[in-house]
């Protein structure tokens, strides 16, 4: 309420009824003008954040350093969201014709300029009101060759009153960009960039990619990275870099060295050979208390830990580090000795939770198993008990499962945690028969903690579910957590690694996970290309380069010699005639057969819906406010099944206008939901699926919602567009 409105309210009681009506009209008109000129209204940030920039910007990845995915803007409301229209569309024109390219970027918006990435990892600056391109930076000099594989999920903004700068990653390179003209800031690192492969204390040829942005603490950029999850993986140590020079200030060893905390949870020499345990999802930061929160992934190799007996700290941990020094403050491990690829999939959310009449500074971590781990973010003490649940012993030779796994007791699960026979599809005879056949031939009784096997194990709620990298949003008006989830069964079969030809051996242990037993690739899991008829498309020389240097999300296998790379190439092409031999490079007796989503013959999951959900959780009362299927399969709706939900990637944004905006779904739509009820209030078709988290901003009193439309996952078409909406 502005001063004019207040004066009217204070004085209207002394006027006659006609005067009151006149002034009532003036009040309404004045409020309307205020809403048009100030989309933030009078809302005060209940989390007490002191953001360095105004609320009309989206200046930090996922909204703020608390990873709130929240906007204070309230011009668009539950009453007027139906009037939302397309404001502009920008298309980079670089979508891959075979639908292998993606855009997963949550952009930054600073002073009316949208900073975003394209399908070929170019960085563009767009006018936030019109979508007109201001400049473009191409890190590959128009020689991008990793189509459909490399992704960038966001950017970092730094300002100190002297020289603003943007940081973003293209593959292994961390780049510093001048936001005024899109040029490299050559005083940073090596002529404007850092190679993230260097400085980890490992073979610098091992794959390290910067898919997700780091976070700024004072004059330091804290970074994680994506590494391989197979043998020959780089360690995922966390580092702090000087924002001006690129000098490494500190490093935290996620695989501890002798004398460091957690060293005894690994075999003695693990720090010399093990990889993984990386922060690939992004961070949250409590700047006031100087604490950075780091969710880590599993150790490599993902699916067999016979060579890493023990709990394996700090794999699968929420780590609280001193942001200035990188020293450990506290940690909690959400999976002990992971053998299911249960990385922590999202940045944690920092929020205030009320317990027993007291406001607790809390941190909330979403997991792939649909669980919520909630702690006092200063001390690491769980807000409510977390029990260690007994789990079955391992089924694979040499493996030693940890005997218990932690499960929160009070907060509700936001996805199904286990499957029963009643969950199997019965929508048609073919789907029912398929589901029952899989059920009868696999292990599944222990749910999320079912040990892996040669027979076959159902992984549920899946390798990419319940929660995934899109993250959760915090409604700062009331303390609700908004999270989207996947519920899809996958099949894991662990094959014995027998003596084989050189090429076959390398393929089965290094390539089969992704490209499949018969070289056909996997269109539904990251659009992994087929290798059938490879010789007709890729020369031996080019194949060696790709194998040893990596390509996009495919890691570099730098330790594979030219001779072995040639044997691998020949095996894929049916021409490997080397003698069978014992496996020398693969230190495990097993290899996973491949990522296999369990779809029935009709092309839909072998379970009853929902396949994807959107959930609102009252974090104070520890109850679910509402839960709805997210996304539609038109064919199933036509069969009378209603809204089933779909697989979804990318997260929600909640606003002070009482709305949740989310794209993420296979049906290529963006939607707005009533945050209080879960009712769908608006939707709009996108040029390609929006597998990314939106951003919300304002220019000249007008509120906008912008989303990347990159598609290219789950068998949907690729795009290279950004679209924005306004009233």
Return the SS3 of 124: strand
Nearest 5°: the CA angle 110, 116, 119 is: 175
Residue 7 reports pLDDT greater than 50: no
Residue 461, preceding bond cis, omega within 30 degrees? Answer: yes
Q: How many CB atoms lie within 10 A of CB 639?
A: 12
Average pLDDT over residues 213-240: 95
526 band by pLDDT with thresholds 50, 70 and 90: low
Task: Give per-residue pLDDT as tens, 45-67.
Answer: 333 333 436 899 999 999 999 99
Asked if residues 523 and 655 have their Cβ atoms less than 8 Å apart, the reply is no
Percentage of the chain modeled with pLDDT above 90: 74
Asked if residues 478 and 625 have their Cβ atoms less than 8 Å apart, the reply is no
Average pLDDT over residues 22-50: 39
Highest mean pLDDT (candidates 18-27, 32-41, 148-157, 311-320): 311-320
Residue 28 reports pLDDT greater than 70: no
pTM of the model: 0.89
The predicted structure's pLDDT at residue 167: 98
The residue out of 555, 585, 615 marking a domain boundary is: 585
30 band by pLDDT with thresholds 50, 70 and 90: very low
The predicted structure's pLDDT at residue 520: 83
Task: Give per-residue pLDDT as tens, 91-100.
Answer: 999 998 888 8
Domain assignment present for residue 514? The answer is yes
Domain assignment present for residue 564? The answer is yes
Q: Which helix (H) or strand (E) holds 7?
A: helix 3-11
DSSP 560-587: S-HHHHHHHHHHHTT---PPPB--SS--
User: Which of left, alpha, beta for 201 (phi over 0: left; psi -120 to 50: alpha)?
Assistant: left
Percentage of the chain modeled with pLDDT above 70: 89
Q: Which helix (H) or strand (E) holds 549?
A: helix 540-549
Domain assignment present for residue 510? The answer is yes
- Report residue 218 as tokens: 């004072």
Residue with tokens 């009101």: 129
Average pLDDT over residues 384-412: 97
Domain assignment present for residue 480? The answer is no
Asked if residues 392 and 446 have their Cβ atoms less than 8 Å apart, the reply is yes
Q: How many CB atoms lie within 10 A of CB 652?
A: 29
Asked if residues 725 and 704 have their Cβ atoms less than 8 Å apart, the reply is yes
Average pLDDT, the chain: 90
Q: Can you name the residues that pair with 366 across neighbouring β-strands? A: 372
Asked if residues 637 and 53 have their Cβ atoms less than 8 Å apart, the reply is no
- Report residue 658 as tokens: 């009482």
Task: Give per-residue pLDDT as tens, 274-300.
Answer: 999 999 999 999 999 999 999 999 999
Top-confidence residue, 230 or 660? 660
Q: How many CB atoms lie within 10 A of CB 398?
A: 13
| Residue 156 CA from chain centroid, whole number | 16
Residue 411 Cα distances to 111, 140, 320, angstroms? 39, 46, 21
The CATH number for 528's domain is 1.10.760.10
Task: Give per-residue pLDDT as tens, 657-684.
Answer: 999 999 999 999 999 999 999 999 999 9
The predicted structure's pLDDT at residue 43: 34
Asked if residues 485 and 613 have their Cβ atoms less than 8 Å apart, the reply is yes
The residue out of 556, 585, 614 marking a domain boundary is: 585
Average pLDDT over residues 620-640: 97
Average pLDDT over residues 554-562: 75
Residue 328 reports pLDDT greater than 70: yes
Domain assignment present for residue 406? The answer is no
Give the domain extent around 22. Answer: 3-37
The predicted structure's pLDDT at residue 589: 86
Nearest 5°: the CA angle 482, 676, 707 is: 50
Total structural domains in the chain? 2
Query: String of b and e for 500-526 (b: at least 16 CB within 10 Å)?
Result: bbbbbbbbbbbbbbbbbeebebbbbbb
Domain assignment present for residue 557? The answer is yes
User: What is the Cα–Cα distance from 254 to 251, expressed in whole angstroms?
Assistant: 9
Domain assignment present for residue 531? The answer is yes
Residue 228 reports pLDDT greater than 70: yes
Domain assignment present for residue 580? The answer is yes
The residue out of 562, 585, 608 marking a domain boundary is: 585
User: What is the Cα–Cα distance from 226 to 208, expressed in whole angstroms?
Assistant: 6
The predicted structure's pLDDT at residue 374: 98
Total residue count of the chain as it appears in this document: 727
> Residue 300: which of 252, 346, 255, 365 has the closest Cα?
255
> Residue 723: which of 93, 96, 123, 130 has the closest Cα?
130
Q: What is the dihedral of CA 190, 194, 199, 202, to 10 degrees?
A: -120
């Amino acid at each position: 309420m502005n001063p004019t409105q207040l004066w009217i309210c204070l004085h209207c009681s002394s006027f006659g009824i006609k005067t009151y009506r006149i002034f009532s009209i003036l009040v309404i008109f004045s409020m309307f003008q205020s809403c048009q000129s100030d989309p933030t209204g009078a809302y005060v940030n209940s989390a007490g954040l002191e953001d360095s920039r105004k609320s009309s910007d989206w200046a930090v990845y996922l909204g703020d350093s608390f990873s709130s995915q929240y906007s204070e803007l309230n011009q668009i409301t539950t009453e007027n969201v139906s009037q939302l229209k397309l404001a502009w569309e920008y298309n980079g024109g670089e979508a891959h014709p075979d639908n292998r390219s993606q855009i997963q970027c949550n952009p930054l918006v600073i002073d009316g300029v949208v900073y975003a990435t394209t399908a070929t990892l170019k960085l563009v600056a767009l006018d936030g009101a019109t979508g007109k391109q201001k400049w473009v930076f191409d890190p590959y000099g128009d020689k991008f060759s990793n189509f459909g594989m490399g992704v960038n999920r966001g950017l970092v903004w730094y300002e100190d009153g002297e020289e603003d700068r943007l940081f973003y990653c293209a593959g292994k390179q961390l780049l510093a960009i001048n936001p005024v003209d899109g040029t490299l800031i050559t005083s940073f690192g090596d002529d404007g960039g850092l190679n993230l492969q260097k400085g980890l204390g490992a073979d610098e040829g091992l794959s390290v990619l910067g898919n997700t942005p780091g976070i700024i603490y004072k004059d330091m950029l804290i970074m994680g990275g994506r590494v391989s999850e197979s043998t020959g993986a780089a360690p995922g140590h966390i580092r702090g870099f000087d924002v001006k020079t690129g000098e490494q200030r500190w490093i935290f060893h996620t695989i501890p060295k002798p004398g460091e905390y957690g060293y005894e949870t690994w075999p003695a020499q693990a720090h010399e050979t093990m990889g993984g345990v990386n922060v690939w999802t992004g961070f949250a930061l409590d700047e006031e208390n100087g604490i950075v929160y780091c969710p880590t992934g599993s150790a490599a190799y993902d699916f067999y830990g016979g060579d890493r007996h023990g709990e394996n700290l700090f794999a699968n941990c929420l780590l609280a580090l001193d942001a200035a020094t990188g020293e450990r403050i506290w940690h909690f491990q959400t999976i002990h000795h992971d053998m299911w690829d249960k990385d922590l999939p999202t940045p944690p959310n920092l929020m205030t939770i009320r317990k027993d009449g007291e406001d607790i500074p809390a941190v909330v971590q979403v997991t792939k198993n649909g669980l919520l781990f909630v702690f006092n973010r200063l001390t690491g003490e769980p807000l409510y008990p977390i029990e260690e649940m007994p789990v079955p012993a391992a089924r694979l030779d040499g493996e030693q499962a940890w005997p218990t796994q932690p499960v929160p007791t009070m907060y509700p699960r936001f996805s199904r945690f286990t499957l029963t026979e009643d969950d199997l599809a019965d929508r048609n005879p073919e789907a029912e028969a398929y589901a029952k056949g899989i059920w009868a031939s696999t292990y599944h009784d222990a749910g999320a903690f079912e040990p892996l096997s040669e027979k076959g194990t159902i992984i549920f709620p899946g390798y990419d579910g319940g929660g995934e990298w899109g993250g959760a949003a915090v409604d700062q008006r009331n303390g609700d957590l908004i999270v989207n989830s996947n519920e899809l069964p996958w099949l894991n079969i662990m094959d014995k690694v027998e003596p084989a030809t050189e090429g076959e051996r390398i393929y089965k242990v290094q390539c089969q996970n992704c490209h499949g037993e018969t070289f056909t690739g996997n269109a539904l899991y990251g659009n992994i290309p087929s290798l059938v008829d490879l010789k007709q498309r890729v020369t031996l020389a080019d194949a060696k380069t790709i194998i040893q240097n990596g390509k996009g999300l495919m890691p570099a296998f730098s330790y594979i010699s030219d001779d072995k790379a040639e044997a691998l190439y020949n095996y894929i092409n049916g021409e490997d005639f080397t003698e069978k031999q014992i496996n020398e490079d693969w230190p495990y007796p097993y290899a996973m057969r491949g990522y296999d989503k369990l779809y029935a013959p009709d092309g839909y999951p072998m379970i009853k819906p929902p396949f994807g959900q959107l959930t609102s959780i009252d974090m104070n009362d520890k109850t679910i406010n509402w839960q709805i299927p997210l996304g539609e399969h038109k064919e199933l709706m036509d069969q009378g099944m209603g809204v089933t939900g779909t697989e979804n990637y990318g997260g929600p944004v909640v606003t002070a206008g009482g709305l949740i905006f989310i794209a993420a779904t296979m049906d290529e739509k963006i939607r707005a939901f009533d945050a209080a009820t879960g009712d769908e209030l608006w939707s709009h078709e996108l040029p390609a699926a929006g597998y990314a988290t939106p951003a919300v901003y304002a220019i000249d009193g007008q509120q906008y919602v912008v989303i990347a439309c990159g598609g290219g996952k789950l068998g949907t078409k690729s795009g290279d567009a950004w679209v924005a909406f306004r009233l």
